[in-house]
Amino acid sequence: FLDNPIGRANATYLLELQRAVSDALGVQLLYTTGLFDTTALAEFPLVIRLRNDADLRAGLKYISVEEHLRPGLPQQAPAGEGESVHSEITATRMFKRPSPQEA
């Protein structure tokens, strides 16, 4: 999970390098950024805009999908044909910072 890696590293060759390293390590990257750099975003097969929302009555905060800018992912080839495409999430990890009262 890279938090806003496009901020300073938005050159195409830097994004390609990040993705090549992650492919070699078998890691799927999830980029988050507040930038709308169309040149950098063009490097990705799937771009989804998210929006912070809240239910004030219930005191809940959540993220919702705003729009799919580039909804295309490569089609998965049948088993044994061509290059494999990773198409499932096998693990997740979430870190929640403690509130100032808990610290």
68 is a domain residue: yes
* ∠ CA 7-13-17, rounded to 5°: 90
Q: What does the mean pLDDT of the chain come to?
A: 72
Q: In a 3-state reduction of DSSP, which class is residue 52? A: strand
pLDDT tens, residue by residue, 23-57: 899 888 887 777 777 777 777 777 788 888 888 88
Indicate whether 11 and 31 sit together in one domain.
Answer: yes
Same domain, 66 and 29: no
Q: Domain residues for 13?
A: 1-43
Confidence of residue 74 (pLDDT cuts 50, 70, 90): low
Same domain, 4 and 38: yes
